[in-house]
Amino acid sequence: MKLINDKIISDLDESLGLRFLSEEKRSEILTRVLELVSKRAGMRIVEKFSDEETAEFNKIPKDDLEQMEDFMVAKNPDAENIFENEAEKVKEELLNAKM
């Protein structure tokens, strides 16, 4: 994924202390966090689409993440910043969560 770049992954890994976990647990948690970031950022981008853009986006196969990303970037040049912003929000929410 281009919108989920190495900088985002590294920051989440470091900030959340995932390096102290087993590789299996680290990977599982990181995958879930990145899914949440992707869903939230994607929703922010898609909600700004026109009806025509939404219809066109919905024609993209759900498993073609690269095509979805390309479409989002083409329609919203701020897509990368939105993903970075959502990653920061999710990180802060997790760090501030009361256990």
pTM greater than the 0.85 cutoff: yes
| 87 within some domain | yes
Q: How many domains does the chain have?
A: 1
Which pLDDT tens digit goes with each residue over 61-97? 999 989 999 999 999 999 999 999 999 999 999 999 8
| 76 within some domain | yes
| 1 within some domain | no
Which pLDDT tens digit goes with each residue over 13-70? 999 999 899 999 999 999 999 999 999 999 999 999 999 999 999 999 999 989 999 9
8 A C-beta contact, residue 49 and residue 57:
yes
| Containing structural domain, residue 32 | 6-96
pLDDT for 2 = 83
